[in-house]
Structure formats: structure tokens, C-alpha cells
Amino acid sequence: MKLQLKIWRQKSADSTGRFETYTVEADEHMSFLEMLDVLNETLIHEKKEPVVFEHDCREGICGSCSMVINGRPHGPMQGTTACQLHMRSFKNGDTITIEPFRAKSFPVLKDLSVDRSAFDRIIESGGYISVNTGQAPDGNSLPIEKDLAGKAFEAAACIGCGACVAACPNGSAMLFTSAKVSHLGLLPQGAVEHSARVQNMVNQMDKEGFGMCSNTEACEAECPKEISVENIARLNRSYMASIMGSEK
């Protein structure tokens, strides 16, 4: 299949970028990133600068790939990362527009690569549990109710890719932060620090300049792991309970 690609090219964080158009010959069995690999091979052969995009596991679990395909983070397929999107989702002759994630807190570094270290700083502010490392505890030594474990697990599926921020018209990081807070806070090991964690992570999130949630729910629609906005409600009430109810 022959495709026309409109790709955002930007030399560095400080330079202004622009779209450039390329044509590429792809196979419908290729993943989206493999199609970009083919384009880059050609560009390298032509002694041109290849398109910078982030990738790592290419099996939808690392959260590295970050690009907006035809206006949608990770492309048109529901619950799928860009690396797991295949070219059979497109037709011969299609024009595909590829842009980096857009948010003030995710500045573009080069081409399609953005700086997502704001997420790392949110995690550093409280996205952990304080336990001594050592031998893994026995599987069922701590009884956890099944539904609760399920909810925590669903939230833990967040791969921190930032598609929620990219999809949100406000560039809000509420889905990411709420997924981390739910994943840790719903389990007994994480519940101990829940109250302090919620305040610290929200403070850091606000400090990073992410926008405020206006419940458009675009994040949930675009999340490759289909994290629910139910988690955002949990973060809202946890934050209110923490700041009004605790002594901190």
C-alpha cells in the first residue's frame, strides 16, 4: 500500500517545527512503527535526517510510543498503543498526519519525541509504597477482596504513556495521576500512605502546569489501556478527604 505521510519535523526544543510530506510503501501487516522504520531507512539512504520517534517494547506495555495519528493519540484503534496499531487500519492512498503529543508540560524535544519527565516527577512525589525490599511475600499472605484487587489491577494497567494529557483539550494529567493513586491506594500495602500520597501527587501535578480536568472524558476514550475516569472521581474525593479530613 502507498501512503502519504504528513509528519511534524522539529530540529530541537527551541526551534519552530513544521509539517513535511513523505510517501512510503508499506505492507498492511506492518505495525505503525515498522512503517515509520521503513520511512527512516529510506531517509537514511537518501542521507536525510530520520524522523525521531520514541519506542521500546513494541508490544504495548512500556508506554514509550507517543504520537498523535490523524488527531488521535496512538491512532484510531480503541485500546491500542501506536506500536500495536497495524497498517491494515489504513487504506491504500491514505494521507496520515502524524504529530507529537501536545501539552505545555510535554515540550517537544525533536520531531515526534516529547519530554514526559513531568510524569516522573509526579511519581517521585508519591507514586510508591514505603516497604523494605527483600524476599517477595507469599502470594496469599495478605487477603485482598477480589473486586478491589480487580480495580487496583485495572488502574495499574496504566503505562504512563501520556496519551491522556495529549488527548485532553486542557492538557490535564488527572487520568494518569488518578490511576497511580488508585492502583496504590486500593491495596492494603498502599492504603497506609494514601492520604499523604494524594496531596503530594496533586501538588506536584499542579506545579508541573498540567491543566484542570473539565470532564470531557477524552482521556478515557484515547487511553490505550482504557483506564476509567472513575479513577478521577476517586482522586477528587480522596484529595478532598485528605485535605479536609487529615491533620496535614
Q: Which residues sit at the interface with another protein, rule CB under 8 A?
A: 6, 8, 19, 68, 70-72, 76, 97, 99, 102-105, 107, 167-172, 174, 202-203, 205-206, 209-218, 221-222, 229-230, 232-240, 243-244
Amino acid at 188: P
* Rounded-to-integer distance, Cα 230 and Cα 79, Å: 17
Residue with cell 487504506: 91
Least distance to another protein from the beta carbon of 2, Å?
A: 20
Least distance to another protein from the beta carbon of 217, Å?
A: 6
Longest Cα–Cα distance in the chain: 64
> For another protein, which is the closer residue by CB, 19 or 128?
19
Least distance to another protein from the beta carbon of 10, Å?
A: 11
> For another protein, which is the closer residue by CB, 59 or 246?
246
> For another protein, which is the closer residue by CB, 196 or 212?
212
- C-alpha pair distances (Å), 154 with each of 117, 183, 186, 216, 227: 23, 8, 11, 21, 7
Least distance to another protein from the beta carbon of 208, Å?
A: 10
> For another protein, which is the closer residue by CB, 189 or 214?
214
* 3-state DSSP of 178-233: HHHHHHHHCCHHHHCCHHHHHHHHHHHHHHCCCECCCCCCHHHHHCCCCCCCHHHH
Backbone angles phi, psi at 212, to 5 degrees: -95, 145
Beta bridge partners of 24: 3
Least distance to another protein from the beta carbon of 186, Å?
A: 14
Residue with cell 508541573: 208
C-alpha grid cell, residue 220: 478515557
Least distance to another protein from the beta carbon of 157, Å?
A: 18
> For another protein, which is the closer residue by CB, 137 or 209?
209
> For another protein, which is the closer residue by CB, 64 or 238?
238
